[in-house]
Structure 1
């Protein structure tokens, strides 16, 4: 596809503190060995997009360490490849930061000027989903759309309650309802906008030049929504698994545990191509004779001697004999010592639960242990 991929990965994810205290929400670990940005990036690569720009801002070190040169996604190439688009100081931008999504694109307008791509795909780095973007692009071309937005059903999905809604007529978006205004009329809107857009590159440049210098810094509020009557903005309804993990700690927790569902696991990892991620040279997990495991994901490098139930354990985590981990998410390098008991807990990297200690959170409000924390 002659498409330029742009991933918005500069969000702080303030509702996920302390998990996002030292990392952007796009760099949050998920499913044992992945990061949230892996899914949007892999969707683009699987669709044949070979030039991707990642717009970063907040605390990008962890994200950049994970992405590296892009070789795991076959983006370390001479033509096209991976571009990290960070804010920079200039006479026109003394604050050294992006004021919004449209401003972020405008400050990196050079990537829209270069190359032979005709269209741009804009996505978010903190959304978990798997789909065939090439099929959506064909729909975008067949309908002669100026902009195509991915939409989803508005009921019941974790993360969708925090998204904008749209009103559609015969596949065309005729009204955009910002999430801040949904409370005024909760029933309004046919579906939610999932922040995935196909748009003509030259049209996008014109819209940015007409809006951003006049103080309109948001892509939706300042560019798409005001032009619904003059542009052919189409919806593409998506009915698969989709999560916005930055909405809350509960949503991040439930998203990780969703991988224990075989149907969701099949959709995310066995359909529409692979999910690529940064590889680490770790041995397979070691399961001792004292271990018991039920309905759990155990990543490489783990050593398990205790009881694991309905949990996700990331790389290089150790659960000693006599310890119990139940309905919890343990990130990389955690240690649960002998006789300890944890339930409904998110443990950030390199946390330790000492000998015989007990730590229990609420199923609807999981407790988070900060990075390097000791209980």
Structure 2
């Protein structure tokens, strides 16, 4: 592959509410056994990109722990590999990353030492499968300076939380608006970009000289009329998890057979760090319908249309409907959970009830184990 990869995984979204108080968005559990960043990393590996840098910052402990061995994504190699960069205090710089462009600028030496002519930049908070080679071939064929991978949303979906694009017949970008108050286009940026390495270095250096720090606002939008920017549309499944509702909906999508088949059965595969846990156990009387149950879980009650992550314990006479239960949650007897996301390592006392009546409810309890 003639490109080096950069995954931007240092951001925080207040729209995730309590879910990002403990972890970065890129470390959010997805589909029972994955983390959000696994999808971008797997795409890099499956596209034969041999050198990938992950830029982390906010609540990065669990994310860095997840990335502490690169072998899971086939990056354990002598040439290239996986590089994890966190903000570093130096004699010349005492700042955290002040934006996506500043994050790249503070690690610009990594790009200078690379020999690959192109760079694939991706966010760590999207769930999708993609062959970056096709986007790179498109980029070269169009003689583009910057190629923005885009996705067309359904008419009823809210495009205002993304960057919206408008292109001409040749797919050249004519308008680019970041998170508009009122979206006039349903074509959005997927947060994936293809750019020549030397051009990226020049743009990032110029951006830093002017004390500008955001890649989208201060580079893409600012230079859209000065550089040749094209859009590359992806037609397959893509979803961003940067809000509670989007995160919940993405996990619920994995209960659809066609989505499970696309991610779990069709080539290429999605890789993740493997935990040494026993298979899920279903005790007598347990009823499970249309649900994903992670390894190490023990089920005694009823689970319907839900995603349960690793090491979940469901007590006697529990009922879980249309919910996402994160890792290592203990649900006491006679608990009722519906339309909720239950935070990791929580203990839900026996005989309690949590129902999301106006949207999705995030349940956070103290990390204590109560007697039944």
Q: Does 1:12 align with 2:12?
A: yes
Change (3 A) 1:41 1:159: farther
Q: Deviations over 1:146-197 (max 9, x none)?
A: 1111111143576744101111011111121121x342xx32x361111100
Q: How does 1:96-135 map to 2 (within 5 A)?
A: 96-135=95-134
Q: Is the 8 A contact 2:347 2:366 kept in 1?
A: no
SS in 1 for 2:317: coil
Q: CA RMSD in A?
A: 1.8
In 2, distance between residues paired with 1:227 and 1:84? 29
Deviations 1:45-73 (A, max 9, x none): 10001110001111110000011121101
Range 289-298 or range 146-155, more displaced: 146-155
Partner of 1:83: 83
Q: Distance in 2 between matches of 1:178 and 1:7?
A: 20
Paired residues of 1:344 and 1:367 also in contact (CA < 8 A): no
CA distance in 1 between counterparts of 2:300 and 2:288 reads 10
d(CA) in 1 for partners of 2:165, 2:174: 8
**Residues of 2 paired with 1:302 and 1:3: CA distance?**
41
In 2, Cα distance between equivalents of 1:272 and 1:182: 39
**Correspondences of 1:204-223 after superposition (within 5 Å):** 204-223=200-219
Rounded to whole Å, the distance in 2 between the matches of 1:333 and 1:190 is 38
1:209-251: per-residue Cα shift (whole Å, max 9, x none)? 22221112111211122222232111111122211111x2121
Matches within 5 A, 1:325-336: 325-336=320-331
- For normalisation by structure 2, the TM-score amounts to 0.94
Asked if structure 2 preserves the Cα contact closer than 8 Å seen for 1:348 and 1:371, the reply is: no
1:71 aligned partner: 71
Q: Distance in 2 between matches of 1:190 and 1:357?
A: 42
- Hey, what's the Cα distance between the residues in 2 that align with 1:155 and 1:213? 40
TM-score, normalization by structure 1: 0.94
Q: Secondary structure at the match of 1:82?
A: strand
Task: Note the alpha carbon deviations across 1:51-106, whole angstroms, 9 max, x for none.
Answer: 10001111110000011121101112221101111111123322x30111111111
Kept after mapping to 1: 8 A contact 2:291/2:306: yes
Q: Which ranges in structure 1 are unaligned for 5 or more consecutive residues?
A: none
1:322 corresponds to 2:339:
no
- Tell me which of 302, 308, 316 is aligned to 1:313: 308
> How far off is 1:338 after superposition?
2.0
C-alpha distance in structure 1 between counterparts of 2:241 and 2:50, whole Å = 26
1:1-375 mapped onto 2 (5 Å cutoff): 1-94=1-94, 96-156=95-155, 160-169=159-168, 170-179=170-179, 181-183=180-182, 186-187=183-184, 189=185, 191-246=187-242, 248-362=243-357, 364-370=359-365, 372=367
In 2, the alpha carbon distance for the partners of 1:353 and 1:211 equals: 49
Deviates more, 1:360-369 or 1:53-62: 360-369
Deviations 1:8-33 (A, max 9, x none): 00011221121111211111111111
Cα separation, 2, equivalents of 1:359 and 1:171 = 48
Q: Offset at 1:111? A: 1.0
Rounded Cα–Cα distance in structure 2 between residues aligned with 1:276 and 1:316: 20
Cα distance, 1:269 vs structure 2: 2.6
Report how many aligned residue pairs link the two structures. 369
CA contact 1:31–1:312 (8 Å) conserved in 2: yes
Distance in 2, matches of 1:312 and 1:190, equals 29
SS at structure 1 position matched to 2:64: helix
Kept after mapping to 1: 8 A contact 2:155/2:186? no
Q: Which runs of 4+ in 1 moved over 6 A?
A: none
Structure 2 CA distance for aligned equivalents of residues 268 and 114 of structure 1: 35
Give the 3-state SS of the residue equivalent to 1:19 in structure 2: helix
